[in-house]
Structure 1
Amino acid sequence: MSIAIENFVKAIYKNNSNNAKDTKPGNIAKKLGISSAAATDMAKKLAVKDLLHYQKYQELQLTEKGKKMALSVVRKHRLWEAFLFKMFDMSLHDIHKEAELLEHQTSDLLADKISAYLGHPKFDPHGDPIPNANGEITTIDTSISLANAEEGKHYVISRLMSDDKEFFEFCAHHKLKYGHEVLVSKQFINNKMTELSVENNTILLNQDFTTLIYVNAIN
């Protein structure tokens, strides 16, 4: 399959996995940086290939065949991120950018070799789950966004759901990293702001950030 097709089904899968579940052609077009017309044309072509279900003005839904393809691409992408992070200590933005290129040139055999070398990791450095060789995500996600976290509770960062360079630079500067502990000291509900304590430093985040950072409560 072409890179364009792999990116299209991956975008549908990822958009369907987030809170918004915005998989209409126009939203997929924005994700991929193409026109709405081009996204609609691609959707119609992939429906013929039995990779997705297409109905005018409706959300795009992957078929089992399409989901299998998307998960294969996602697996390779996240394995490359884990490999590049481990081997070269690259930034979260840079490993994402490089993995976008490498995922399309990687055979299933090489993906399996990378996974074995890394000890079959279940998560990438962003905290995103890595599908296994059968295209299955075996982990159970119990995380919540910081926007929904409770005041006065301690949490561990479990996921950074973005591919924006400035977002990752901000997180790195303030030690908001996968696996790090934070205290939600105050939720400003009306103003949609969250105050955090991270290693004795206080950070105030707006909802643009708190909806992208996912955490698990520390019991």
Structure 2
Amino acid sequence: MKKVYGSAAEALDGLLFDGMTIAAGGFGLSGIPENLIAAIRDAGTKDLTIASNNCGVDDFGLGVLLQTKQVKKMISSYVGENAEFMRQYLSGELELEFNPQGTLAERMRAGGCGIPGFYTKTGVGTQIAEGKEHKDFDGQTYILERAIVADLAIVKAWKADTTGNLVFRKTARNFNPDAAMCGKVCVCEVEEIVQPGELDGDAIHLPGVFVHRLIQGAFEKRIEKRTVRAA
């Protein structure tokens, strides 16, 4: 099965449609699939529901899809540093389903593992729990959270082999493995593609069975917020 494609546009060919749900890896600007995001923007696919921890910044990452009004709904943990995200949400232009970070990660992981839902204490007694099933275990109340299964997962890894085995770079791993697992189709961009056997089997973070298409991308690697000490 061919998994390596020449560009982000080629790797997304035939996968995009209006109204689809996309799971996107990354945390802030760390480990974001910036080439695939740009290709989705250029394709003009609209009415998107995107499950991602946040939405990048105003002019980079998933924020570029907010600028072009291609996103209908975000399933996220926080608004972050994105002023346009906040503006669209407060003005009613954008739907937002808030999720605690651990809950969002587990919803993605559960979707990838074929688990339709799970009970968690996180959010009990808050707005997060409204409209959800409650159940008591050992005297403690839990709420039912449903798994996320996306039409498409877009993720970023450090290295891959041609069969799709992935290695992530330190904290850039973040939500990427969980997002990759929950997509019906997963497209991954990486910094380096090697031949099978060149990756240490014990160092592989996500097996290639979850990855359908690969590209080798070029990355800007912006710093979201630079903090330096005085000279």
TM-score using structure 1 length: 0.28
Q: Give 1 or 2: higher helix fraction.
A: 1
Q: Which has the higher contact order (CA 8 A, sep 6+)?
A: 2
TM-score using structure 2 length: 0.27
Q: Give 1 or 2: higher strand fraction.
A: 2
